[in-house]
Amino acid sequence: MTALTLYPAVDVQNGQAVQLTQGVAGSEKVFGDPLTAAMRWQDAGAEWLHLVDLDAAFGRGSNAELIAAITARLSLDVELSGGIRDDASLDRALAAGCRRVNIGTAALENPEWCERIIAEHGDRIGIAIDVKGSKLAARGWVREGGDWAEAVDRLSAAGCTTFVVTDVKSDGMLTGPNLDLLRQVCARTDAEVIASGGIAQLDDLVALRGLVPDGVTGAIIGTALYIGNFTLEDALAVARG
């Protein structure tokens, strides 16, 4: 298989769809109603949506009711991220109807919990590997954790089936994905690897498609879609080959 699965992103902050630069609070560009954005990507042919509660990720609130309302209106699969750090937030996210939840900060702060929920929920749990240099980033990317490779090794051994890998330096920067980092992650795990950050043009998707044999199965696209660098329809055509 050489096709990539695309995950158009809808990041929600204060009830609005936004895009951040390098995950920095205050850098956001606002793009309006998140349900409208989600329906737009669904209507364009997306099979998955990457939905993020930024307020929950930064620990300053929650858009849980809005997230659940958006998910209820969609027929595609939803991958939900942001602020899922304990049983209560995990149960709320799973109850919202998403196909998979991504765990970020908790993977750094409570790996034993991550191992338990992977055992309980299987492929409904993904792990977000947000990388600054050789270190993991946490709490909305404002703190640094341990070595990313150690986290991948440990959680792969626990049975994690999906890692979402973001090079924080490239996120929202339209500088291209970090192919070397993705290759390094793929070399350490048999899990699916979803690329996030930096995708600016269709050629970036061609490059990522070339990593499918290594284990890259998908790509999250945000800013490039919102500012019109290409259409989702064209991106899907390239991703499918």
Query: In angstroms, rounded to a whole number, what is the distance separating the alpha carbons of residues 163 and 143?
Result: 20
- Can 130 be counted among the known catalytic residues? yes
Query: In angstroms, rounded to a whole number, what is the distance separating the alpha carbons of residues 124 and 219?
Result: 18
| Single-letter code of the amino acid located at 111 | P
Give the residues across from 15 on adjacent strands: none
Supply φ then ψ for residue 48, to 5 degrees.
Answer: -135, 155
* Residue among 53, 55, 130, 167 flagged as catalytic: 130
Query: In angstroms, rounded to a whole number, what is the distance separating the alpha carbons of residues 210 and 33?
Result: 34
Give the residues across from 155 on adjacent strands: none
| Single-letter code of the amino acid located at 51 | L
CB distance 150 to 142 below 8 Å: no
CA distances 50 to 6, 156, 184, 218, 222, Å, are: 9, 22, 23, 11, 9
Which residues have a Cβ under 8 Å from the Cβ of 122 and sit 6 or more positions away?
159, 161
Where are the alpha helices (H) located in 74-216, listed in sequence order? 87-95, 105-109, 111-121, 148-157, 179-188, 202-209
Structure tokens at 29: 């560009």
Residues counted in the chain? 241
Would you name the residues annotated as active-site residues?
Answer: 11, 130
